[in-house]
A and B are shown apart, each in its own frame.
Chain A
Amino acid sequence: MSRKALSLTIALAVVPALALTACGSGDGGQVGADAKQTLTVWGMGEEGARLQKVAEEFTKENPNITVKVTPVGWDVVHQKMVSAAAGGKLPDMAQMGSTMMGEFIALDTLEPVDEKVFDKNDFFPATWDGNVQDGTAYGVPWYADARGLYYRTDLAEKAGIDKAPTTWQEHRALAEAYQKNGAKWGTELQPGSTGAWQSWLPFLYSEGGELVDKDGKSALGSAEAVKAFDMWGGYFKDGLAKKNFVVGHDPVKSFGSGEAPTFMSGPWMVQNITDQQPQLEGKWKAAALPAGSKGSVSWVGGSSLVTFKDSEHKAAAEKFTAFLTTPETQAEWYAMAKSLPASKAAWDQPQLKEGGESLMVFKQSLDTAKEVPPLEKWSEIAALIEGALEKIAQGADPAAEAKKLQGSTEGLMAK
């Protein structure tokens, strides 16, 4: 009996492995671009739902290729993709969030980009560099999420400030002025929990700091990092930002009520504020991120388009990727989804040229923005940074935390 159970266990363990090797057989069964075929694509959240429409346009031009888009929720996408990779059930193509690139490159599931077809100079540097490891690009940038600074102009005027802060010192002065004039908090900064690193990265980058240094070692204990932790922590130390984070907190609400009249976020917030706080019309602006000693450097998130190694439709996938990254489609996509085009030429299209003042702010940021490098263990590193940030917000010494972080991330930075 026990022997039977054992052999069954072994059989069950071996079957998926066999299935995997079968799938990994590579280029054997490639389908040409002209053959009739169905291309399966995973898109995330809202984008997934909208992508189907764009895909239909593509099919009009290429009647032999039917595109089937499956929308996957952002909250489950990571797990779903990893389990699909484990089970050999990945689609032909997918939209991939920038911070997941490292993991999937490490898993050896992504097909390198043909750089004869896609030219890196067509895209904003940070959007391209986030997909590159050891000189090979594994994804084509699709859209970019640079961060900007949102602030209430009406409350700033009341406090005697009539222009956007251009440096972190001015940003602090603005926060102090807000608070003196009745705002509960001077600014909104996420003090911990998932995603807190996003509120800190602009401080690091604008001081010229990096996550990984040139030799591939952790740079989280560097002098620049300590300075960034110190600047970030200062807002909490002086009571300008709330020390405790509550899951589900929405900065747009406290922005609308004037409780915290400034925050950093991506371009999608323009729409969110317009929709959720219509009474604010004309009372707020988006500005470029304040500059540190090395300039105003935003960090870029966003998504790339990747083709999976096991796909038999690589030619069709390349065609669809090319279609999605033409300036025309990118501009249309902006009009539809309000995601910023990663292609530089798209910004000359009318939809973007006439997109208004706040849009230009993000365009400028894209030119100087930096990416999160593709690191296999990024989620772990991010969690460690978040832990350190939480302690600093509570009053821990930034230099000591940076040193600890340097130690704990040392073994994790390998690409």
Chain B
Amino acid sequence: MSTAATKAGDADRDSLPAAGPAPAGGPDRKAAGAGRTLRPDRLSRQNLAGWLYSTPFLVFFLTFMAFPIVATFAMSFTDFGLRNVTDPFAAQWVGLDNYTALADDEKFVKALFNTGYFVVLGVPLTIGSGLVAAVLLNSGIDRLRTFFRVGFYVPVVTAIVAVAVVWRFVLDPSEGLIAGLGAQLGFGTPDFLASEALAMPSLIAMAVWRNMGTAMVLFLAGLQSIPVEVREAAKLDGAGPFQEFRKITIPLLRPTMLYVAVMTSIGFLNVFEEPFVMTNGGPGDSTLTVSLHMYEEGFDFFHMGSASAMAYVLFTIVLAVTLLQLRLLKDKTR
């Protein structure tokens, strides 16, 4: 790995700005650069060019990222509603009311629970199945590797609406794939999406299927970066395949694992599309997630204040989960 090189590079870069404003009579090797930065006309022109080049991004960032973030935060302390759409400054400041009201909002509590359920079951399954697929693809079956790699990745790049059509067919109780198989084998199938107990697990299955491809590709890249020499050394020392996996693969995959875990968790905490296209939160709020509830409050009812408050509660949860994962999974040996 080239960690050493990048570390050195970082250190070098860090020292540059500090060395820049050094007096003109400084060390020789910096003379050329230092001389340039010292001439004030050059300095401003260079600055100007820099600002010009970054303006398109900055404008984009400020309008579409920074401003909405600040505005929603402010909005979460107001009663911003439908009428304020045409008269934004008539919104009233309500302090923390939107946040305290969430604690009493039965639907929000249910949505928090459902989101937690989705994450706790979905994330480990996605990581697990992605890892298993990656390990299988990385060892043996050379010929079919591309086929499987594409096969597992197709769900990731397929539009959710198309995915929904397929999964509705799979889960349909009267003419679906599972029901058909069930009929052949002589067992009845439940109405998955219409059952309060089974709707969420069905959506989790769908989300795992959709997201394991991403995890798999990342794990594959991680696996392929493990040097062959290390594996050979382990084999020479008498490690079997299982020991090799436990003692070599897993520890060396740690950075990849951290990345996959963090990204998958963030994605799953924000789960919206699956319940939106498949169940619309039903039956009986059993698949209502925080994002879906937020969408309903914000865009169906235009309770922008309370929707914004939900957004910040969700953001805090995502932040906490991510920090926790960084803490638990970070490689402490480095």
Residues of chain A having any CB pair with chain B under 8 Å: 5, 8-9, 12-13, 16-17, 20, 78-79, 82, 85-86, 103, 106-109, 192-194, 243-248, 259, 376-377, 379-380, 383, 390-391, 394
Contact = CB atoms under 8 A, between A and B. Distances in A.
B102 interface: no
A390 B288 CA distance: 14
B166 interface: no
A244 B283 contact: yes
Given A17-B89, A247-B280, A379 B194 contact: no
Given A248-B168, A390-B282, A86 B85 contact: yes
B212 to A, nearest CB: 24
B283 A109 contact: no
A248 B193 CA distance: 11
Contact of A246 (B71, B193, B300): B193
A82 to B, nearest CB: 6
Given A9-B67, A107-B86, A245-B282, 13 more contacts: A12-B67, A17-B89, A20-B86, A82-B85, A82-B302, A85-B86, A106-B83, A107-B83, A192-B282, A193-B283, A244-B191, A246-B191, A246-B194
B82 interface: yes
15 contacts: A9-B67, A9-B71, A16-B88, A82-B302, A85-B85, A86-B86, A107-B83, A107-B86, A193-B283, A245-B282, A246-B168, A246-B191, A246-B194, A247-B278, A248-B164
B86 A379 contact: no
Contacts of B18: none
A242 B334 CA distance: 60
A74 to B, nearest CB: 15
Interface of A is mostly: helix
A376 B83 CA distance: 9
B86 A192 contact: no
Contacts of A82: 82, 85, 302
A106 B85 CA distance: 11
B141 interface: no
Interface in B276-334: 277-280, 282-284, 296, 299-302
B195 interface: yes
A112 to B, nearest CB: 17
A17 B168 contact: no
A107 B81 CA distance: 11
A376 B82 contact: yes
A101 to B, nearest CB: 13
Nearest to B279: A247
Contacts of B83: 106-107
Nearest to B192: A246
Interface string B77-102: 00000110110110000000000000
Nearest to B85: A86
Contact of A5 (B66, B278, B284, B296): B66
B291 to A, nearest CB: 16
A194 B277 CA distance: 13
B63 interface: yes
Contacts of B63: 12
A137 to B, nearest CB: 21
A12 B86 contact: no
Closest 7 CB pairs of A and B: A244-B194, A86-B85, A380-B301, A12-B67, A247-B280, A246-B193, A193-B282
A107 B195 contact: no
Contacts of A78: 300
Nearest to A248: B168
A336 B283 CA distance: 38
A13 B174 CA distance: 53
Interface string B43-54: 000000000000
Contact of B62 (A12, A244, A248): A12
Contacts of A13: 67, 71, 88
Contacts of B282: 192-193, 245, 247, 390
A247 B277 CA distance: 8
B283 A245 contact: yes
Contacts of B164: 248
Contacts of B300: 78, 379-380, 383
Contacts of B88: 13, 16-17
B70 interface: yes
A8 B62 contact: yes
A244 B195 contact: yes
A383 B303 CA distance: 14
B86 A109 contact: yes
A383 to B, nearest CB: 7
A79 B299 contact: yes
B284 A394 contact: yes
Nearest to B193: A246
A60 B280 CA distance: 46
Contact of A9 (B70, B193, B278): B70
Contacts of A9: 66-67, 70-71
B276 to A, nearest CB: 9
A394 B196 CA distance: 11
A20 B88 CA distance: 10
A102 to B, nearest CB: 10
Nearest to B195: A244
A372 to B, nearest CB: 16
B133 to A, nearest CB: 30
A192 B299 CA distance: 20
A384 to B, nearest CB: 10
A181 to B, nearest CB: 19
B191 A379 contact: no
A247 B193 contact: yes
B67 A194 contact: no
A377 B301 contact: yes
B194 A107 contact: no
Contacts of A246: 168, 191, 193-194, 279
Nearest to A191: B283
Residue of B191, B278, B284 ringed by the most chain A CB atoms within 10 A: B284
A75 to B, nearest CB: 11
